[in-house]
Structure 1
């Protein structure tokens, strides 16, 4: 692999979970990164570009974390496939192994396996500060000599060691560091006949890669039918025992790792020091106080969403109200102006007003992840999860569901037990995602008084927290029910490494907030804008047989009574909306939703929300803009909804209707993207169909009960 002028190479980042891999990826690529899926699987593929030197560019592939080259989950198998596949599109020219210096012995197992694949390797040691606090001193030169590959100490969070790492990548690309000629362990001797025959049929770089193809030939998609048949015959002929070979390999590796640790590492007495992390865990993972602190953290999170976001949200609402009023005054009264004001501006306002809350929610979640507390939440809840048919790993998808159900369901791949994974997928959409946040915000502002409880707690924030906790507890209840109906019997284990506590990287938090706001505006915004314009058309036009009589009626009334022009105009706009295409659709479904306290306008929003839940707000903004007279265009959406009345003059948005609507959106499966990802993950339409039916029924029943109680 000789680097030339303007050369480009593929570098794979691999390492154990929580070893600092993502931090290094961000340090190397900066903003030059993108997320897609690996071909054929719904596993995140993070790639980015990095300028290593003036003459060398690198395509960096951040592979899912794994503890060894024997995969146990879908994520780990993707990493395995990329590293073993000799002809894959993502085949790396170089591998950058991120190893946790504070847990070096365990990390060296994976490092030694990668070295034996005979792909150029650099080991980047992270957590050196933690190792020193544990009393561990590592001789980098000695470690490099023993392993036969370059070893660099880095701290990607503080950008330390990155220039030296780039220099080593450049030198390795120019072949100043050759691939180690000697195997870490003698893979060929473990099954010589099998290794030789596989190398005849598959072009692999090393004996160790051939050994892995022997172990996992049935699962490797890059092997064709003829190769699989030849390998199967070879395994049968030589009575290949993969369990015995794996055990022998691991024992040999740890024997050599023990020798390396003696030669290059000085370890202190493990009882000599207790790290600050362990002291914090004594409190934060306490059987009683740990749960109290967890509830306190969640309480502060939801209080902050309301408290911090209220000021920018009020400002954005007022600004768009003023903009609509100004446009009404300066633009001519025609259809184009109406589309601009009541379609486009109303739709944009429905997007922009919730950006502060989206940013704050994701910022706080990133803060919990960055400090290491998010993993503790999984640990704390494992006992509870097991009682309802899940395990601690199910908590991460459930927590991720607070942001978005789509990546949360994909995160369930890390759950090895098939039954627990399926139940997790089925109940994750019950968690209140960020798309529900705009709906909760509007309804809470309408029906929950803005006052304090005990003098310092926001009642609105408490209701918001209650909605999120309600989704979580409903997920637990249904999980307990589902475990009796899903008849998959598999043993379940919960193994998770707890990362050390770290000070948050405020730059990373800020970048995440900006990025999530951008995604919300561009991705959700596109859907909201398109539906807003379609709705404007449906709400502005209708069948001539219905619209013409309305127009003629109010022309006569206004001519006969000019003094009542404003009142008649409001009545005209309202009746015209009721007879539009949107009004006809809304009235058609109104009998089914009237028992829930919903009117036909809410019915239209329920239908459009199947594209995305957050469309509800854009729908209401458009309907209430189209249905109002021009003089009311400077009013905010909350003011318009607050003033909305039924045919009998009673307000639409009472406490009963508000809580009924919030509960409906808390439980209903109104997200086509979620249904699509469930289908991809389960490879069946049966599971998403079950989700759609049970969540819609649950939403309807709970909404019905709430409306009649209040």
Structure 2
């Protein structure tokens, strides 16, 4: 199958155009370095390849070096029929630098080139336009205006793209531009001639930036946005969580009605609905978190937040670019560690990767939600306006961030100093403010929930069934006298300083496979005697069991700090190339979390 390559700088709308052409559900984010993998899809008889975004073919960051290597190798392949260069119509000069370099590379390899002039809707909205016919003549390759967001010109572009790909020999670049002149000078000349002369978009952007990037107003907006983000995890997700709880309860009643009493009914009620079901109710919270972060990404605010965070982050040895992996880490540490590749400085990149596990990822959400429900009244308010549970959520996330900054300062002092010699300056493009596109954002939200279920459900199922077996046998015995109780009593002395008994010790050990297993484990343990299979019932059972405030607070802070994810350790090993460093971090965070939990239990 012949291939069509798609290249372009970050924020050019390349990934969204790829989505529209192939129908695949690809992530579209509005900050540099998000496309760090090669994406593939099919458009009729051709394979469309979405290559990583880069600004030029002379990269500075590791991410750009990977992108350039992939672009060069892909253009040189015999099965490549067409190279599509995506240009940002609102920032023609910056887009043409890469476009001219790729066109020259394609011409050297006898490959056809087609320029996609994206965001033409924004140009026309301010009463401007671009002469694509004249620009095509100067470039020596066809230029087509379109909008991947509004679909303006997309059908015509798709037909032309397929037509050129089927007969590429007739569309080899015939540029008359000076071969000796640099791509930067050529792009400046072309943008001056054909680009926007009245840059209203930039003027409007600057007026908004003066407010959002101001030291005082910008800081207040940033804190407000972050607070609303974590507050919404409870308020927006609550109705959905109630619906899931009702559905699980109805399913449990239906299964109990058709199964014989005894071991079969006990297995379904306690192992399946009590363990696995108590984890599923938290999926809506993960989807809400993904939705809000998606809004920040696609609107362009995320890049501004990274710029605002540069100064405070640099004080602890980090970069403003560290903010993006940090925020991504609140969804999952694995892609966040990969996102750290965009940090040019090896020193700051390593520190960022080592502290990302302290960001409260989505796997911690079930643990937080359960323990916050146990410790904080549901009807309590903060300042008489905000829900007290939402404020507690914000406090937990804030504690993780502060801990990460303290650890970053510590690592800055003790990491090898030779890494600092290759530090690069902080450079970040501020993308145009845009309304998020609903289709990819909706797909992203749904996929976040499905991926979480696919990743966590098998582990939680195995652990829940295993705990149920250990707790059910020998048959006729009490839970404390079961096999599970015997194991718990052996390890109980380790957890007694935290104010926890053997059941919590077993759940903590089980959660080292994945943090969210903790809820499933407690759901099974406390559900053995017929407890309700929903979060409220489990929280009430824990409260009735007598969990103290100090022990509960210490336990939730333990989960803020502890690195209880084998997949994250594996990713750290792969990115750092050091098995010793990855597992050393695992042990170090575990000890720190244990000490914090013990101290909190002693103080409260």
**TM score, norm. by length of structure 1:** 0.78
Alignment correspondent of 1:10: 3
* Larger relative contact order (Cα-Cα within 8 Å, sequence gap ≥ 6): 2
Which residue of structure 2 aligns with residue 29 of structure 1? 22
Note the residue ranges of structure 2 that are not aligned, 5 or more in a row: 29-34
| TM-superposed deviation, 1:132 | 5.3
Report the Cα offset of residue 439 of structure 1.
0.6
For the residue of structure 2 that corresponds to 1:159, the secondary structure is coil
For residue 306 of structure 2, the aligned residue among 367, 378, 383 is: 378
Q: Indicate which of 135, 144, 147 corresponds to 1:152.
A: 144
Which residue in 1 is equivalent to 2:464? 532
SS in 2 for 1:93: strand
**Alignment partner of 2:545: what SS?**
coil
Aligned to 2:130: 138
| Structure 2 residue aligned with 1:598 | 500
- Distance change (3 Å), C-alpha of 1:411 and 1:167: same
Contact preservation (8 Å) 1:83, 1:92:
no
For the pair 1:121 / 2:53, whether they are aligned, the reply is no
1:256 and 2:222 aligned: no
CA deviations over 1:49-90 (Å, ceiling 9, x no partner):
223xxxxx2222222110111122232222222222279889
Contact 2:74/2:80, CA 8 A, preserved across alignment: no
2: CA distance, partners of 1:652 / 1:10: 64
Q: CA deviation at 1:601?
A: 1.2
Pick closer, same or farther for the CA change 1:24–1:90 going to 2, 3 Å: farther
Q: For 1:157, what is the secondary structure of its paired residue?
A: coil
**Counterparts of 1:307 and 1:637 in 2: how far apart (Å)?**
16
The residue number in structure 2 matching 1:581 is: 483
Aligned with 1:477 (options 406, 420, 428): 406
2:220 maps to 292
Aligned-residue CA RMSD (Å):
2.5
Partner of 1:229: none
Q: Which of 514, 534, 537 in structure 2 is aligned with 1:612?
A: 514
Deviation at 1:110, TM superposition (A): 0.8
CA distance in 2, matches of 1:182, 1:285: 42
Alpha-carbon deviation of 1:408?
Answer: 0.2
Counterpart of 2:356 in structure 1 is: 428
Give the CA deviation at 1:125.
1.0
2:157 aligns with one of 157, 165, 180: 165
- Shift of residue 349 of structure 1? 1.0
Question: Are the equivalent residues in 2 in contact too, given 1:599–1:652 (CA < 8 A)?
Answer: no
SS at 1:138 equivalent: coil
Q: Is the 8 A contact 1:309 1:360 kept in 2?
A: yes
TM-aligned CA distance change 1:515 to 1:90, over 3 Å: farther
- Tell me the equivalent position of 1:45: 38
How many angstroms apart in 2 are the aligned matches of 1:654 and 1:315? 30
Aligned to 2:349, the other structure's residue is in SS state: helix
> What TM-score does the superposition give when structure 2 sets the normalisation length?
0.91
- Candidates 45, 55, 62, aligned match of 1:67: 55
Structure-1 separation of matches of 2:593 and 2:195? 60
- Return the alpha-carbon distance in structure 2 between the equivalents of residues 443 and 90 of structure 1: 58
Residue 54 of structure 1 corresponds to which residue in structure 2?
none
1:376 shift after superposition: 1.0
Instruction: Describe the superposition over 1:646-676 as per-residue Cα deviations: whole angstroms up to 9, x where unpaired.
Output: xxxx834222222111100000000001000
Is 1:520 matched with 2:446? no
Q: Aligned to 1:656, what secondary structure does the other structure show?
A: helix
Moved more, 253-262 or 97-106: 253-262
**Deviation of residue 594 (structure 1)?**
1.0
One of 517, 521, 525 as aligned partner of 1:623? 525
For each residue in 1:100-148, what CA deviation from the matched residue of structure 2 results, as whole angstroms up to 9, or x when unmatched?
1222122211111111112221111123344457886421011101111
Structure 1 residue 329: Cα displacement? 5.2
| 2:38 alignment partner, SS class | strand
Residue 653 of structure 1 corresponds to 547
CA distance in 2, matches of 1:694, 1:398: 20
When the two structures are aligned, how many residues end up with a matched partner? 589
**8 Å Cα contact 1:321/1:633 also seen in 2:** no
Question: Quick check: 2:456–2:516 contact (8 Å CA) kept in 1?
Answer: yes
Match of 2:424 among 483, 492, 496: 492
Q: Contact between 2:2 and 2:79, CA under 8 Å: does it hold in 1? A: no
Q: Distance in 2 between matches of 1:409 and 1:458?
A: 32
Residue pair 2:277, 2:533 contacting (<8 A) in 1 also: no
Contact 1:351–1:521 under 8 Å retained in 2: no
Matched, 1:178 2:171: yes
SS in 1 for 2:236: helix
CA distance in 2, matches of 1:184, 1:582: 76
Tell me the residue number matched to 1:305: 233
Shift of 1:353: 0.6
Computing the radius of gyration from Cα coordinates, the structure with the larger value is 1
Structure 1 residues 14 and 299, CA gap change in structure 2 (3 angstroms): same
2:210 aligned with 1:282: yes
Structure 1 CA distance, aligned partners of 2:593 and 2:38? 35
SS in 2 for 1:678: helix
Aligned-partner Cα distance in 2 for 1:286–1:462: 26
Going from structure 1 to structure 2, the CA distance change for 1:66 and 1:395 (only over 3 Å counts) comes to same
CA distance in 1, matches of 2:13, 2:238: 36
Tell me how far apart the structure 2 counterparts of residues 639 and 261 of structure 1 sit (CA, whole Å). Answer: 64
- Contact 1:150 1:168 survives alignment (8 Å): no
Q: 1:46 to 1:585 in 2, by over 3 A?
A: farther
Greater shift in the superposed pair: 616-625 or 320-329: 320-329
The answer as to whether partners of 1:27 and 1:156 remain within 8 angstroms in 2 is yes
The whole-number CA distance in structure 2 between the counterparts of 1:116 and 1:316 is 56
Map 1:204-243; keep pairs closer than 5 Å: none
Q: 1:652 to 1:121 in 2, by over 3 A?
A: farther
Classify the secondary structure of the residue corresponding to 1:260.
Answer: helix
How far off its partner does 1:178 sit? 2.0
